[in-house]
A and B are shown apart, each in its own frame.
Chain A
Amino acid sequence: MFDNPVFIKEIKSKYRARQSNLTLFAIGSLILLLIIWFYFEALRYLLFASPVITGKEGWAWSVVIQTMILWLVGPALASNAISQEREQQTWEMLTFTLLSPREIVLGKLAARSLPLLFVLLAFFPFMAVCLSLGDIPFHWLPVTYLVFGNCSLFILTLSLFMSWAAGKTATAIALSYLAVAYLVIGTLLIESVLPAMARGSESPNLWLNPIRITMALLEAPGNSYNTSVLLFSQTAFLVLTMLMLFTMLRRWDRWKRD
């Protein structure tokens, strides 16, 4: 990936702060202080002789917070990736180079995923502490992170796809959030009119809901019902991700024909 010119360029232009060293230092320290403070407070609640929250609760909270960040911030990260190049008239010159569509898509995807990676990393030590304190089976850790990773990939690909398919960045952002809104609210609405609800069971439609997925993660990812929820949703996301990537790469130069 570090050979990918698109990745390098994206990193330089997106994440390099242009403020003076002093401002940078101040901002950096502030973020660091915030994280330290969060850790301090959280561990205080967890570790005292009579803890306010248990390890399991701490785990649940951080899973919920991270899920919210993924689904809410994710679409904003990639939905201007391609449309912006068209808007600022750099797209033509980019596609004129020898870079393959795959390099461009993967380079952009990788660069735009870094903020999410940072969030997951920042939470990781806390998750580890909770895991060691609560009576949480160890296999929850890999399952949770696999779901996080897969969902992030799906959200980012979805918004990149919208950015490719829509003419304008504004449209791409709207479409990406509409898709997220469908998963969170739309699936619930549909479920309420489906006969499955009346029978007291769920349809696979609901299993795509991020809230339902988080519940499955927190209840007991090991039990067979929740395993099927997770397996179904994650396979669906992965298939959709692949489908979007495939469509983009195959119909890459649809702009060429006008």
Chain B
Amino acid sequence: MPPMIRIQNLRKEYRDLVAVKNLNLELEPGDIFGFIGPNGAGKTTTIKMLATLLTPTYGTAYIDGVDVVRYPEAVRSIVGYMPDFFGVYDDIKVWEYLDFFAAAYRIPRAKRAQIIDDVLTLTDLNVKKEAYVESLSRGMKQRLCLAKTLVHDPKVLLLDEPASGLDPRARIEIKELLKELRSMGKTIIVSSHILPELADFCNKIGIIEKGELIISGDVNEIIRQVSGHHTLEIRILDENTPEPSQLSIETLASQTPQEGGVAVKTSAEMERAIALLRSQPGVDEVKRSDGKLLAHYVGEPNQEWRILKALIENDIRVLSFGTQATDLEDIFMRVTKGIVS
């Protein structure tokens, strides 16, 4: 199958700043690509170039075989684009807003009513059909924008942080919607700076930093590589750890600065635990942070229990033992350290 999206040496320079450095990427039809990177990494710039809204300095991309630089019109009819920051026309009704975009995509009048109903159902805005756009909540406006992105039934969706600025519930709603779109067979590029937000519905991810795609590929592959090394978070009972009932501002305050050369009261038990952890195979670094022990684990996957066993056998009173959630920052640290590549 020919790739649905093929990005070739895509580059964008703003005066002396290179926002996107010779990006290359191929996506198959039906791929959901999570485009991850910190602020200013070049996500929006890349997506805008794909959406024909920005002219690349060099290189190009093909969407369904169509060159985005040479045939912007043709690309727009097969692509749905949702910007990271956008406004809506406040002073018209929800259905009129969608009708406007349907008309703007040259959908015949006779077909529009049905399409509007369909996208409203999909985005769960049916009850708001007759309401004015300005009366919608932020999450609803976000869904409305997604609805308008779908009116011309695009094969490819470019969604720039579709869930930014939403509360957890609205985020979940957007996620559900994206899963629905995936099942409809759309090819989607969705950007975010939070990995877990994307991990469960993307089949591919790419991490961009300072305009460079540091890593890209199958999501399970990358997660597997990354989660081979992670941080164990261990809390043990020691004299400095107050009982939860005794927790107060003062005790918390007296607990704080542990890092950066400040002398920290460390009980014998804590010392023992740190020494023990350091001696364990697979642990390459142990830190104290906020009364917890953070052990960086690079050993065999699924053998972390051995460390817990060692702690217990040495009479260390473990309160909790777990893995720190893998977040983007974490992956970045690894990726940039060259652990994964």
Show the binding face of A for B, using Cβ within 8 Å.
5-6, 8-9, 12-14, 16, 18, 88-90, 92-99, 256-258
Contact with A along B141-160 (1 / 0, CB 8 A): 00001001000000000000
* B103 touching A5, Cβ below 8 Å: yes
* A97 touching B55, Cβ below 8 Å: no
Q: Which of B78-86, B182-190, B204-212 contacts A (4 or more CB under 8 A)?
A: B78-86
Show the binding face of B for A, using Cβ within 8 Å.
14, 51-55, 73, 76-77, 81, 83, 85-92, 96, 100-101, 103-106, 132, 145, 148
Question: A90 to chain B: which residues have CB within 8 Å?
Answer: 86-89
CA distance in complex: A13, B134 (Å): 12
* B100 touching A5, Cβ below 8 Å: yes
Chain A interface mostly helix, strand, loop or mixed? helix
* B92 touching A12, Cβ below 8 Å: yes
Beyond A93-B81, A256-B54, A258-B54, whether A9 also contacts B100 by CB under 8 A is yes
Question: A89 to chain B: which residues have CB within 8 Å?
Answer: 83, 85-87
User: 25 A-B contacts, Cβ less than 8 Å apart?
Assistant: A5-B100, A6-B104, A8-B103, A9-B96, A9-B100, A13-B89, A13-B91, A16-B91, A18-B132, A89-B85, A90-B88, A92-B53, A93-B86, A93-B101, A93-B145, A93-B148, A94-B104, A96-B52, A97-B105, A98-B77, A256-B53, A256-B54, A257-B54, A257-B55, A258-B54
* B55 touching A256, Cβ below 8 Å: yes
Question: B90 to chain A: which residues have CB within 8 Å?
Answer: 88
Question: A99 to chain B: which residues have CB within 8 Å?
Answer: 104
* A88 touching B87, Cβ below 8 Å: yes
Question: B81 to chain A: which residues have CB within 8 Å?
Answer: 93, 96
Question: A95 to chain B: which residues have CB within 8 Å?
Answer: 53
> What 7 A-B pairs are tightest by C-beta distance, nearest first?
A5-B103, A97-B104, A88-B87, A89-B87, A13-B91, A9-B100, A99-B104
* A9 touching B77, Cβ below 8 Å: no
Name the distance in Å between B166's Cβ and chain A's nearest Cβ.
17
CA distance in complex: A6, B103 (Å): 9
Given A9-B89, A98-B76, A257-B55, 8 extra CB contacts under 8 A: A5-B100, A12-B91, A13-B92, A88-B87, A89-B85, A96-B53, A97-B105, A256-B54
* B83 touching A8, Cβ below 8 Å: no
Name the distance in Å between A98's Cβ and chain B's nearest Cβ.
5
CA distance in complex: A94, B92 (Å): 15
* B106 touching A98, Cβ below 8 Å: yes
Question: A258 to chain B: which residues have CB within 8 Å?
Answer: 14, 54
Name the distance in Å between B10's Cβ and chain A's nearest Cβ.
15
Among A9, A18, A88, A94, max chain B CB count under 10 A is at A9
Name the distance in Å between B58's Cβ and chain A's nearest Cβ.
14
Name the distance in Å between A96's Cβ and chain B's nearest Cβ.
5
Name the distance in Å between A111's Cβ and chain B's nearest Cβ.
13
The closest CB in chain B to the CB of A100 belongs to: B73
